[in-house]
Structure 1
Amino acid sequence: MTAPAHLTYVYAVVLDTERARTAVEGVHGVSDTAVSLLAEETAEEVSAEGAEPPHRLAFVVSRVAADEFDEGTLKAHFEDMDWLEGIARAHHEVVQTLSREGAVLPLRLATLYEDDRRAREALAVQRDLFAARIALLRDRSEWGVKLYIGPPEPTEGRAAEPRGSAGTASPGKAYLRHRRAQHHAREDHYRNAQEAAQRIDTLVARFGTHRVRHPAQRGALAGPEENVLNDAYLVPDDLTEDFRAALAAVATDLDGVRIEVTGPWAPYSFAMPPPPPEPPREDPAGDGPAR
């Protein structure tokens, strides 16, 4: 059997609309391949005489060289950070382009099928799930909200002497006093960050947005500050300005904390529903569920 020369690379799921088809015209994705829509096959295009046909779902696809994306080659490529960065950037640009024109459901990097027929079969199998997610995402955008605690105050210089003290404290005592003051300020900042997080929770409930919690960033990603909250919110487009204005006011009276809002983004954080909670494991000793 002859191996296929090309594979079908899938970026996302969208509604098959004229707007979406126009949006992909001239767009190139991974390996500089042309992007198009691959619509699902339906038995009927219209449900009643003169009625507008229901929107079909479509994969956003391009055809890539099989020898570059077959299983063995792909495994090696995923260890090549330069190659992986280029593919990720191209994938993201396609998704972001579609997100400007309507609801888009991003799929994971390097989602591949042997050909268009296999891709359509996969689209049909997951249609109900895809349609439900598209309905959730319509007229909404993803926004990132991060909460930071500022770095400690610099320890340069000598701590001020308390009033009424006799003489000047030794350098060691002055240093310890300064460190204690830093510690107390740091505790105040953590309390302020907790207060800010509670205010954000209240705000989110008011706007009725969906939220996904991501792990706080560490190291170089967070910079000199400490990232203590890293959430994504699915915000209705007509509430975006009110949402951002409310967030900007959350920490204005709280020292040592900063809120960063980014977006709008394609809704990667909301592409699939969260996994159901795992059932409690049975205790091998027979004493009930394991914790």
Structure 2
Amino acid sequence: MADSATYLYAITREKDRARPERLAGLAGVAGAPVRAVAHAGLVAYVSTVPLAEFGEEPLRRSLEDLDWVGETARAHHRVVEAIAMDAATAPVRLVTVYSGEAQVRAMLERRHDDFVKVLKQVAGRHEWGVKVYAHPARPASPAGAQAAEPSGAGPGTAYLRRRRDSLRSRDEAWREAAERAEHIHEALADVAAAARRHRPQDPQLSGREDWMLLNGAYLVDEDRRGEFAAAVEGLREPGIDVEVTGPWAPYSFAALEFAGPEGHDGG
């Protein structure tokens, strides 16, 4: 239909596709039903969406609306997580849109080997997220610092010295905490099949004023899930906060790029 497009969520192998009942009643982006498109031994999970909202120009405007982006992302991830409950899943980048099913089938055929490789890597595994936080070092109290100043030091000199000592203490605390986070990442990576470090989130996104020292993703075999959880618990220590999320579909290890002549995305 000329007034609609095909929105893509994820890819699985046809032999272990999501069950039909898993898709029944599942609302995707814009509240659209989700259906499966099978081709070349693979299955793409898609919805029909209006071009008035998901065409290239409307999409550029929509991506500037944080409420729209948040709602769309939640719907996208809800579909991906539902599919991943049944099968090894390769999630697709948010707002990847094609003109129709014919383009989706052509993409599945053209990138068949890429999908098979990725899906083989993530089969029987889930992604776990681990974030490590530390409290910023408190500066030395002005009273204590002032008492330690030489008697001949003027107020300006004393202030600069206290400021220097405070920054040095903060830098040392940061280095120490970063080393501990590196140790945690290496220990968890030893248990995982694959591991990645993402950039630490800005406090406005994390909702915390603490330093985020580690924003890690770990692809863990299902039969090592307990071992991974035990490793996390064994790495907790005073002065840092370890936050674990999951299990998730393997976004950090299976998402592929799809922008190109066959369609467009919002990236």
* Bucket of the pairwise TM-score, normalised by the shorter protein: 0.7 to 0.9
Aligned match for 2:194, one of 210, 227, 238: 210
Out of 116, 126, 135, the residue aligned to residue 131 of structure 1 is: 116
Is the 1:158–1:171 contact (alpha carbons within 8 Å) kept by the matching residues of 2? no
1:5-20 aligned within 5 A: 5-16=3-14, 17=16, 19-20=18-19
Q: How many Å separate the matches in 2 of 1:75 and 1:132?
A: 32
* Residue identity opposite 2:242 in structure 1: I
Gapped regions of structure 2 (runs ≥ 5): 149-153, 258-267
| 1:259 alignment counterpart | 242
- 1:32-58: CA deviation from partner (whole Å, max 9, x where unpaired): 1110111115xxxxxxxxxxxxxx310
Matched residue, 1:113: 98
Selected match of 1:62 from 19, 33, 47:
47
Of residues 139, 147, 158, the one that matches 2:132 is 147
Looking at CA atoms only, which structure, 1 or 2, has the larger radius of gyration?
Answer: 1
Structure 2 contact 17–86 (Cα < 8 Å) conserved: no
Change (3 A) 1:202 1:110: closer
- What is the root-mean-square deviation of aligned Cα atoms in Å? 3.2
Aligned CA distance change for structure 1 residues 83 and 197 (closer, same or farther; 3 Å): closer
1:201-245 superposed Cα distances (whole Å, 9 cap, x missing partner): 442353142112211222323422111221211111221222122
- Change in CA separation of 1:72 and 1:195 when aligned onto 2, cut-off 3 Å: closer
The structure whose RCO (Cα within 8 Å, separation 6+) is larger is 2
C-alpha distance 186-241 of structure 1, shift in aligned 2 (>3 A) = farther
Structure 1: unaligned runs, 5 residues or longer: 42-55, 164-169, 275-291
After TM superposition, list the pairs within 5 Å mapping 1:71-90 onto structure 2.
71-90=56-75
TM superposition score normalised by structure 2 = 0.80
Deviation at 1:191, TM superposition (A): 4.1
Seq. identity, %: 36
Deviations 1:230-266 (A, max 9, x none): 121111122122212212222426xx33322222222
* Letter of the 1:203 counterpart: A
Measured after TM superposition, the shift of residue 87 of structure 1 is 1.4
Deviates more, 1:114-123 or 1:96-105: 96-105
Match of 1:271 among 223, 232, 254: 254
Q: Deviations over 1:11-48 (max 9, x none)?
A: 1102333643331121010111110111115xxxxxxx
2:82 matched to which residue of 1? Answer: 97
**Alignment partner of 1:229 is 2:229:** no
Q: In structure 1, the residue corresponding to 2:57 is in which secondary structure?
A: helix
SS at match of 2:19: helix
Asked whether the equivalents of residues 210 and 234 of structure 1 are also in contact (C-alpha less than 8 Å), the reply is yes
- The separation in 2 between residues aligned to 1:273 and 1:59, in whole angstroms, is 13
* Number of residue pairs aligned between Structure 1 and Structure 2: 254
**Contact 1:158 / 1:175 at 8 angstroms: preserved in 2?**
no
Matches within 5 A, 1:158-197: 158-159=143-144, 185-197=169-181
Letter matched to residue 217 of structure 2: A
